[in-house]
A and B are shown apart, each in its own frame.
Chain A
Amino acid sequence: MSVDASHPGEDLDRLLDGRLEPDRALAVQAHVADCPRCRRELDAIRQARTVVRERLREQPVPPSLRAGVMDALDRADREGARHAAPRRRRLQRLSMGLGLAAAAVLLFLLGRVLGRDDFVRAAARDLADVRTAALPLEFVTADVAELERAFARAQLPFAARVFDFGMMGYALAGGRVHRIEGRTSALFAYRTDDGRTVVCQMYEGVITELPPPAEQHERNGIRFHVYREGSLTLVFWQEGRTLCVLSSDGPADEAIELAYAKAVRVD
């Protein structure tokens, strides 16, 4: 594709992607303002980027693939004389989860009708507010231990445990002492390089206060209630007398796996 040297060419793409140095960005923007051809080109590549980013449908992972991956890992463990978690137990958990899902959807809808989903909606609202900075983070830190110390100083009625999702690409952005439906909560937020947000909250409560979930999973003896609010996924689980919720604007599978990774069983 020939590029006329008098036009910015590839720098239009870098401008679109926010990858130009400030001085060069200003120069390209000034050129675009005066050049109908480059305005049209910038608009064209913006349209191309927007349609693939926003309109390309996400293909769900087939359950058989997930099972196949686990199977392959089990085999690799066995080949390496490593301990393999029994395959049957995984399949039982998977099929039980799938079986419950259909019934749970109906119960979830019923729960909405009865207006019992306040905690769910409140958690979704808090995520949206953190994302838009409408809910500011009181403690801005990427240090998990520092945020835990800040919560300890706030003398919450429970011990707040801040999760470290660094290995999964979610960097801690900070936290705040918050109120969810009138109860004190420890709220902490994470962001990825590509703009996804996860907000977690811990507060005193019991899982039976929640409406019937869209999905219910069990792992390591912990029950996870999964809710959907528009494009958001909310995963609740119980830790002693504390209820934890992880809210995410990323893929549902990812949110559930994040919760699996950090939930701790407290008998």
Chain B
Amino acid sequence: MRDNEDRRARFEATTLPLMTALYNVATRLTGSAEDAADVVQDTYLRAYRTFDNFRPGTNARAWLFTILYSVAINRQQRTRRDANNVSFDDVEERFQQYLEADESDESEFGRFELNSPEIDTALRDLPEAFRTAILLVDVQELSYEDAAAVAGCPVGTLRSRLFRGRRLLFTALHDYARRTGYLKTGDG
């Protein structure tokens, strides 16, 4: 009995501090607070059942994200919610145009000052694999290696997804900022 209580206490001490991070990634993977809560709860249950396989001292964050990603992707496939079959060729083309734009065109350059809802929308519109790479590396600050393990892909693939994801995200945010006047150029 005592062993089971200890196991439960160790599990809670290891995993509960990470619930906020898990919930935030789940929210952005599923696009819904309700689905995210289900994914997180399922993640905890699976983690608890396999806790004996977890080696103390290893990265609990990466371990939990791996379970969470697997749960979220399985649900997504079940509910066929991944609508990432649109072409991003035109977005990528716009990024190339941005890189090659005339430096004297001030309307093109500047820093965008956007808030969370606009960033969330742009993230949601990214293909799932690119969104995951950004969430894990840029938001959760996992190493390339841990993020690749979570996403179940080679490190090179993860880097490639991050490469494309960041450029697509920038283009989407830049387009939006320019359209809505949130692109601050010069000193303004």
Binding site for B on A (CB under 8 A): 1-2, 9-10, 13-14, 17, 19, 36-37, 40-41, 44-45, 47-49, 51-53, 55-62, 64-66, 68-69, 72-73, 76-77, 80, 82-83, 85, 166-169, 193-195, 251, 253-255, 257-258, 260-261
User: A48-B173, A51-B114 in contact; A169/B60 too (CB < 8 A)?
Assistant: yes
Q: Given the complex of chains A and B, what is the CA–CA distance between A169 and B21 in angstroms?
A: 14
Instruction: Report the separation of the CA atoms of residues A41 and B45 in the bound assembly, to the nearest whole angstrom.
Output: 43
Mark interface residues in B98-132 (1 if CB within 8 Å of A CB, else 0).
11100100000001101110011001000000000
Decide: B163 and A9 in contact? CB cutoff 8 A: yes
Which B residues lie within 8 Å of A166 (CB)?
Answer: 56-57
CB <8 Å contact, A44 and B138:
no
Q: Is the CB of B95 within 8 A of A1?
A: yes
Beta-carbon contacts of B145-161 to A below 8 Å, as 1s and 0s?
Answer: 00000000000000110
A258 to chain B, nearest CB (A): 6
A254 and B59 CA atoms in complex are apart in Å by: 15
> Which B residues contact A (CB, under 8 angstroms)?
1, 4-5, 8, 10-14, 16-21, 23-24, 27, 33, 37, 40-41, 44-45, 48-49, 56-57, 59-61, 92, 95-96, 98-100, 103, 111-112, 114-116, 119-120, 123, 134, 137-144, 159-160, 162-164, 166-167, 169-170, 173-174
Instruction: Tell whether A72 pairs with B45 under 8 Å between CB atoms, given A40-B99, A260-B13.
Output: yes
B26 CB → nearest A CB, Å: 9
Indicate whether A19 sits within 8 Å of B114 (C-beta atoms), given known contacts A49-B138, A83-B5. Answer: no
Give the docked Cα–Cα distance between A82 and B110 (Å).
Answer: 60
Determine whether the beta carbon of B44 is less than 8 Å from that of A52: no
Could you tell me if B163 and A73 are in contact, using CB atoms closer than 8 angstroms? Answer: no
A253 touches B20 (CB 8 A): yes
Q: Across the interface, do B33 and A13 meet the contact criterion of CB distance under 8 Å?
A: no
Q: How far, in angstroms, from A102 to B138 measured CA to CA in the complex? A: 34
11 CB < 8 A contacts A-B:
A44-B99, A44-B167, A47-B112, A56-B116, A58-B24, A61-B23, A167-B14, A168-B13, A257-B17, A258-B17, A260-B13
Nearest to A170 among chain B residues (CB) is: B17
Select which of A48, A85, A253 is within 8 A of B19 by beta carbon.
A253
Asked whether, in the complex, the Cβ of A41 is within 8 Å of the Cβ of B99, the reply is yes
What residues of chain B lie closer than 8 Å to A13, measured between beta carbons?
159, 162-163, 166
Closest B residue by C-beta to A60:
B20
Shortest distance from the beta carbon of B98 to any chain A beta carbon, whole Å: 7
Cβ of A44 and Cβ of B98 under 8 Å apart? yes
Quick check: B27 and A59 within 8 Å, CB to CB? yes
A251-B21 Cα distance, complex, nearest whole Å: 9
Measured between alpha carbons, how far is A210 from B10 in the docked complex, in Å? 30
Q: Given the complex, which residues of B lie within 8 Å of A47, measured CB to CB? A: 111-112, 170, 173
Instruction: Return the chain B residue nearest A251 by Cβ.
Output: B20
Smallest Cβ-Cβ distance to B100: which chain A residue: A37
Top-7 shortest CB links A-B:
A57-B116, A194-B141, A261-B13, A254-B17, A257-B17, A48-B170, A82-B4
Contact of A65 with B40 in the complex, beta carbons under 8 Å: yes
A193 touches B143 (CB 8 A): yes
**Given that A83-B1, A167-B57 are contacting pairs, would A55 and B119 also be in contact in the complex, using a CB cutoff of 8 Å?**
yes
